[in-house]
Amino acid sequence: MKNLLFIILVICALLVGAYPLIYVFVDHKHTFLGSKPLEILNNPVWRFSFFCHIIFGAVSLFIGWRQFGAKFRNKHLSLHRLIGKTYILSVIISSLSGIYIGIFAHGGIVSSMGFVSLGIVWFITTVIAFLKIKNGDVRQHQNFMTYSYACTFAAVTLRILSPLLKLAIETPGLSYHIVAWLCWIPNLMFAYYINRKRSYKSAILE
C-alpha cells in the first residue's frame, strides 16, 4: 500500500510538473492567463514572476520526490546532493515569485493570504532544511525537506481540489477562497504525521 501511494505521488508530480508546457503549445488566452485582467497581464514584473513561479515550481515538483528513500540516497549520494541543490534553488525562485503573484490572486484578500502564506512557508521550510544539512543535522534536514515538498505538492492538490470544490460549491469565489488554503495545509499535516512516524522509528532503533 505504501509503495502504491508513492507511485501515485510520483505520477501526479510528473504530470503536473509538465504543466508549463501548455504555455508553449496552447494559446495563452486558453490558459490561466486568459482569466487575468489586462492591467496585470501588461505588468512585466507580474508576467516575469508568473513564468518564474510555474517553471521553477515545476522543476522542484518534477525532481523533489526522488530525494525520498534511503536506498537511493545511500547508493547515489553525490546525485542526491546535486538534485537537492537544484531543488532548493528552484524552490527559492518559485516561492519568492509565488509570494509576489499571490498578492494578485483571484478572490481578494482571503485568496491572496492563502497563496502568500503558502509561499512564505515553502520558502522558510526549504531554507531551514538547507541550513540543517549544512550543520550536519540530517534528521531535521529530512523533516524540513518533507515539509518543503508538502508545500511543493500543493501544485497537485490545487488542481485536484479546485474542480471538485467548484462542483460542490456554487459560488466560484468561495471555492477559490477555500482552495487557496486547502491545497497546502492538509499536506503539511500529512508531512507532520510522516515526520512523527520517522522520529518514532528512530527512537525505537536507538
pLDDT at 10: 87
What is the pLDDT averaged over residues 169-176? 82
pTM for the model:
0.90
What is the pLDDT averaged over residues 137-162? 95
- The CA distance from 161 to 33, in Å, is 20
8 vs 154: which has the higher pLDDT: 154
Is residue 153 within 8 Å of 8, Cβ to Cβ?
no
The grid cell for 121 is: 512557508
The grid cell for 24 is: 508553449
What is the pLDDT averaged over residues 115-130? 98
pLDDT at 19: 82
Q: Which of 60, 56, 127 is nearest to 98 (CA)?
A: 56
What is the pLDDT averaged over residues 29-45? 80
Q: Report which residue type is found at 73.
A: R
The grid cell for 163 is: 474542480
pLDDT at 204 over 80: no
pLDDT at 75: 87
Q: Which of 3-7, 30-34, 113-117 has the lowest mean pLDDT?
A: 30-34
What is the pLDDT averaged over residues 45-55? 94
Q: Which residues have C-beta within 8 Å of that of residue 159, sequence separation ≥ 6?
A: 16
Average pLDDT value for the chain: 89
pLDDT at 21: 79
SS (H, E, C) the chain: CHHHHHHHHHHHHHHHHCHHHHHHHCCHHHCHHHHCCHHHHCCHHHHHHHHHHHHHHHHHHHHHHHHCCHHHHHHCHHHHHHHHHHHHHHHHHHHHHHHHHHCCCCCCHHHHHHHHHHHHHHHHHHHHHHHHHHCCCHHHHHHHHHHHHHHHCHHHHHHHHHHHHHHHCCCHHHHHHHHHHHCCHHHHHHHHHHHHHHHHHHHHHC
What is the pLDDT averaged over residues 147-167? 93
- The CA distance from 127 to 132, in Å, is 9
pLDDT at 206: 56
175-186 residue pLDDT tens: 889 999 999 999
74-112 residue pLDDT tens: 888 899 999 999 999 999 999 999 999 999 998 889 999
169 vs 195: which has the higher pLDDT: 195
- The CA distance from 58 to 51, in Å, is 10
The grid cell for 63 is: 525532481
